[in-house]
Amino acid sequence: MPHLSPFNWILMPPFFFLMFIAFSSVIFFMKFYKILNLDFKSMKFMNNWNW
């Protein structure tokens, strides 16, 4: 009788890969936006102090 393992091995990795990509991209964009926001604020702060 046909085993389920190969089918799972074919079907599951793309799904997990897409889930991981979506999750990591969301976290990365949130961190990147936070870092960019902090950088922008600090640059504005430094410019206000410098000039």
* Threshold 0.85, pTM exceeds: no
Closest CA to 41 of 30, 1, 33: 33
Return the pLDDT at 50: 55
Cα 48 from chain centroid (whole Å):
33
Return the pLDDT at 9: 64
The greatest distance separating any two alpha carbons of the chain, rounded to the nearest whole angstrom, comes to 78
Label each residue of the chain as H, E or C: CCCCHHHHHHHHHHHHHHHHHHHHHHHHHHHHHHHHHHHHHHHHHHHHHHC
Return the pLDDT at 38: 73
- In tens, the pLDDT along 1-51 reads 455 666 666 667 777 888 888 999 888 888 887 877 776 666 666 666 555
